[in-house]
Structure 1
Amino acid sequence: MNGIASVFLAPLQGLLSTFQSERHYKDNKKDEALHAIHAALLETKKYIELSDGVEDREKEYQLAQLWAEASVKSRYASEELMMRLQDKSKYWSDTIEWSRDEILAKKIDFESIENQINELLGNS
């Protein structure tokens, strides 16, 4: 009976191992996304706080790059979030100023992004 049981259990154990490995992979990707989003958020807040309203296009391009990287990494966590972070990157790289209504409609304001981070942390 042990031989028969192992014949049936071995594939199930292999499948379980694969699922656990895949979950670990997804968890790591989600963590990478959260770290990238958090870094972009902190750098952006720092820029806004320290700029005193003086525009620094070089720094804004750096912020656009941080948001683009966060967007790419977030594709494992949420497609909607990925698109929003792409918009955030465009916001910083565009020379056209976006209205507050556009920012809120696209959910790229700080509060919306922080809420998304908290939601992802809650789904861990």
Structure 2
Amino acid sequence: MLAAVDHVQLAAPPGSEDRLRAYYQDVLGMTEVPKPPVLAARGGCWFEAGPVRLHLGVEEDFRPARKAHPGLRVTGIAAYARRLEERGAKVVWDEGLPGHRRFYSEDPVGNRLEFLEPLAGRGRRG
């Protein structure tokens, strides 16, 4: 039986770890967590913020997905969007999901990220 999503894996090109750290730590406010040594040898990096875990793994012929993305639930979405913009990240608002405020952004290697917050009085979809 499924209980939860443990993490979401995104791909990144070789040698991009410093740019990823700058974005996921400094822009998004996540914390880097050490990878197990056997996995660290492969490159990439892992980040956490509360229950959210994102793993960035190196892919030799990396191309960012055009549509696939994680949807990250936030609180105080307007303030969070300002945080991203103040740190140089592009924020694109989208009103297409009823009952939610949401925007999209991209990490420095082109991975698409969705940030969303239910409107007051709205619960989880589904």
Q: What TM-score, normalized by structure 1, do the two folds share?
A: 0.26
Structure with the greater alpha carbon radius of gyration: 1
Q: Which has the higher helix share?
A: 1
Q: What TM-score, normalized by structure 2, do the two folds share?
A: 0.25
Q: Which has the higher strand share?
A: 2
